[in-house]
Amino acid sequence: MPLLKDKTGQVNTSSQVEGTKKSLTRSLVHSFKKTFQQSLSIAKAPLFHYLLLVFLVIMVLSIVLPFLVLLLASSSLSVNIDFTYNGFKSATELSLDGSARITPNGVLQLTNDTKELVGHAFSSSPIQMLLNTRSITPTTISFSSTFVFDIITVGDAGGHGLAFAVAPTKTLEGSCCQYLGLLTSRNNGNSSNHLFAIEFDTVQASVLLKDIDGNHVGVDINSLVSNVSKTASYFTNNFKMVEFELESGQPIQAWIDYDDIAKILNVTVAPLSVGKPSLPLISYAIDLSLIFKEYMYVGFSSSTGKLSSSHYILGWSFRTNGVARSLDLSHLPLPPQPAKASSTSKGSGIKIGVISSLATLLLVALVLSVSWHFWQRAKLAETLEDWELDYPHRFPYKDLYKATKGFKETEVLGSGGFGLVYKGTLPSTGEEIAVKRISSNSKQGVREFVAEVACLGHMRHRNLVQLQGWCKRNEDLLLVYEFMPNGSLDTFLFEGERCRLLSWDERFKILKGVASGLVYLHEEWEQVVVHRDIKSSNVLLDAEMNGRLGDFGLARLYERGKNAHTTLVVGTLGYIAPELSRHGKPMASSDVFAYGILLLEVACGRRPIEPTAPAEQLLMDWVRECNMKGQLLEVVDPKLGESFVQEEVELVLKLGLVCSQSIPEVRPTMRQVIQYLNRNDNLEDDVALVFSEADSFDLATRNSYLSSFDIVSSSSHGGGTLV
């Protein structure tokens, strides 16, 4: 006999329909019999009495007839079922099997997280779900249910889910895994199952069951292939669909409502904190009278497989012919927290694996970090010789390594006589520098070289690139200069596509600046300094486009009144004074010769040697020839157009020829050159120029001639640097 329960879950006994029918029948028969007997006794009376009898019979029939109609209709009435469980601690009207149990605090647990379990929880007594079963068209009883469930997974993935079910029996023989304990592979899809279920599935099953994903809600009729299914989600008040995870470990509430008149099934689901959405997730037209039997059992089914979760029902309300009562959410019990895993549990294995992996990674990272640290220290380590401590302005190698980003190719500014020049930024001060890394194959003594560099570091002049310091590591030598933001003069002269055109005023200003720097080197410093590599690529331009002579890697110092001792021929072809090919001793006059070539180069916009122009290979020969023909202005850089001062251009060209004469004794000093450029002294127009035939040798002849001396060559802008 179906039972009524109030919202606290207590049982109240209902009146019996059949007893009511019998009692009512007996009363009506007894009344009718008594009235009939009285009518017989009165029938012998006079006419008045007869009429009175007819009236009484009519009165009795008017009273009894409605009860007869009610009696006949009572065969099609059912008793309404209404029960609510705000927790299952006192739920005695539930039938549990498989792994299902009620926890001490009143939570209905369908499965734990053991693999391949099945758990059922159904009403102990059947519930009438059909009316007029003897009719050709029986009627389904409308019903409504709401419940709160929670699926808790230990680890990354669980399964398989749970289902609200209406079944003809409370002892289903369903399989585990994707069948959710409802059916088996043998009877899945049979119409004789008379099974209705709403599945909450957390695993996408095989192709056989056609699951849309591993997080969906579906309507199942006699089969686990859902008639309709949707990804778990709900609608907000703005009609925006929000998806959520059934396997989130947080309580979720579901509402299932079937209207027999409209033949519509509505399924709504949302996290407990959201409340009931205004729109259902699934609204499905279906006639359940074709599925249900007269009496059915309602409840829940769940299963696990190779993937497992704990499935809980926290509260449940069910009602026929009406809306299910709301659950008292504040009094619902909470599911037990996952037990602390033992050393043999799956959770422990995962945790141990994760911890072990992290520990291994940390250990490997530590070893790599320590190894990298020691490798970097070894890479940047320096072994100083005693004599190195005697010379100032020494930079630590690690500072220069960091400044140039490990001497990356992207930091290369250009190449010099001995090696590459890098741009750098000192990590301690942020100052920009230029670092020249000198090749280790120099034939000069390292100690002598460092001694001279240390002396050069004391020089200060506005037209010299300041040598800030030096460094020696093994056989590598590094010179540190202040950084010139506008690069070198040759870039502006010969790479116009990269730089703007230099005006004549700027060129003249640069030439006077370089001359001033050479005067300081030759006459004004404490020792005579011969630069030995004056050329346009060694003239650097500061932010104000002032010319500053740089790259002292080949410079040599000697005391005034004495001669240099070196016999190495150094410099760049096209700038080397002819006397160096005879005795190899650098003098201030050899710098004057190179400066003369620089004067011609700047005025003409041509390199000293042009291999692509055989007829005019040497710039000096070409200018001398045009001067002898009275066509000196023909050699002016065509890029200048008419934008130059003729007197200044002629002065620069003639002074270039004067400085580049063959005999060093007839060349002017750099102080005299300054006086000419500043117009403090006049350069005679008919000055006699002394040149020898050797000056006109072509490049191949000159190389052959110089090969008899102790020289080493490497590529450079001017055509070749001799070291």
**What are the residue numbers of the active site?**
533
Q: Which residues, at least 6 apart from 650, have a Cβ–Cβ distance to it below 8 Å?
A: 632, 633
Asked whether the beta carbons of 626 and 607 are under 8 A apart, the reply is: no
Tell me the C-alpha distance between 455 and 248, whole Å. Answer: 76
- Report the b/e string of 117-145 with b at 16+ CB within 10 A: bbbbbbbeebbbbbbeeeeeebbbbbbbb
Which backbone phi and psi does 529 adopt, to 5 degrees? -115, 120
Asked whether the beta carbons of 281 and 255 are under 8 A apart, the reply is: no
Residue 85 identity? Y
Which backbone phi and psi does 673 adopt, to 5 degrees? -60, -45
Tell me the C-alpha distance between 63 and 491, whole Å. Answer: 124
Asked whether the beta carbons of 9 and 48 are under 8 A apart, the reply is: no
Q: Which residues, at least 6 apart from 624, have a Cβ–Cβ distance to it below 8 Å?
A: 657, 689, 691
Tell me the C-alpha distance between 323 and 146, whole Å. Answer: 9
Beta-bridge mates of residue 420? 415, 437
Tell me the C-alpha distance between 232 and 247, whole Å. Answer: 10
Token pair 């102080």 is at which residue?
A: 671
Tell me the C-alpha distance between 180 and 302, whole Å. Answer: 5
Q: How far is CA 292 from CA 127, 195, 489, in A?
A: 11, 7, 99
Token pair 């497992």 is at which residue?
A: 308
Q: How far is CA 8 from CA 4, 12, 95, in A?
A: 11, 11, 18
Which backbone phi and psi does 373 adopt, to 5 degrees? -60, -50
Q: Which residues, at least 6 apart from 355, have a Cβ–Cβ distance to it below 8 Å?
A: none
Asked whether the beta carbons of 201 and 161 are under 8 A apart, the reply is: yes
Phi-psi region of 608 (alpha: psi -120 to 50; beta: other; left: phi over 0): alpha
Residue 628 identity? M
Peptide bond connecting 531 to the previous residue in cis, omega within 30 degrees of 0: no
For 252, the token pair is 């979720």
For 375, the token pair is 């490798």
